[in-house]
Chain A
Amino acid sequence: GAGVSQSPRYKVAKRGQDVALRCDPISGHVSLFWYQQALGQGPEFLTYFQNEAQLDKSGLPSDRFFAERPEGSVSTLKIQRTQQEDSAVYLCASSSLTTYTEAFFGQGTRLTVV
């Protein structure tokens, strides 16, 4: 596609529920990032993929967060046993190079945990 596509745009989850957020990067982009953006804050790094390899997951807040990109294209961010503090916008970005690059962001998924 022309841009990074994320789905769903909005997700309301009951506390304790598992959720899965999908990201379709720009075709051919090697690098894929997930960021978390709390209300009124800038995005914060969660994890990075180069093709199918997850090279950095240092930003994942807890072991309830899991990301995968099995075929080096579409990525899924899964959050298990959601808690209220997980409420945020989850942004996916992709780029064509591995370093010194410009990332293009999707519209994000707004997760609300009630």
Chain B
Amino acid sequence: GQQLNQSPQSMFIQEGEDVSMNCTSSSIFNTWLWYKQDPGEGPVLLIALYKAGELTSNGRLTAQFGITRKDSFLNISASIPSDVGIYFCAGQRGTYKYIFGTGTRLKVLA
């Protein structure tokens, strides 16, 4: 099935560093969502974006809805060990169906 492209696929960073990841699509979406998934758990919603150009923060997380509506970005500031996990973007075209990305695996070195 269709999946959105996320980059990087994985990354190791030092605790305290900032992290950036992005998600791209060949199609336009009306809503972008970012989820985090820990091992053995379901995805947990982090941030939802509803308008092109929108910039939304949730604590140390900031996400942006790309102006072309074909991409989205997630930044994590001052990373901590519990940020480790897999981050998924998901796009929605105005119906109920979410298309998920391939995931960015984040590992934080203390």
Partner-B contacts on A (CB < 8 A): 4, 6, 31, 33, 35, 40-45, 48, 50, 55-56, 59, 91, 93, 98-108, 110
Contact = CB atoms under 8 A, between A and B. Distances in A.
Interface residues of B, number: 28
Contacts of A106: 42
B94 A99 contact: yes
Contacts of B3: 41-42, 44
A45 B97 CA distance: 7
A100 B1 contact: no
Interface stretch (B12-20, B44-52, B58-66, B68-76): B44-52
A56 B100 contact: no
Contact of A59 (B1, B33, B90): B1
Contacts of B96: 31, 33, 48, 50, 55-56, 98-99, 101
A43 B17 CA distance: 28
Contacts of B98: 33, 43, 45, 103
B97 A91 contact: no
Interface of B: 1, 3-4, 30-31, 33, 35, 40-45, 48, 50, 88, 90, 92, 94-103
B50 A105 contact: no
A3 to B, nearest CB: 9
A102 B1 contact: no
Interface centre among A4, A42, A110 (most CB of B within 10 A): A42
B42 A107 contact: yes
15 contacts: A40-B103, A42-B100, A50-B96, A91-B43, A98-B96, A99-B95, A102-B33, A102-B48, A103-B33, A103-B45, A103-B98, A105-B42, A105-B45, A106-B42, A107-B42
A56 B88 contact: no
A110 B52 CA distance: 36
A33 B98 CA distance: 10
A41 B102 contact: yes
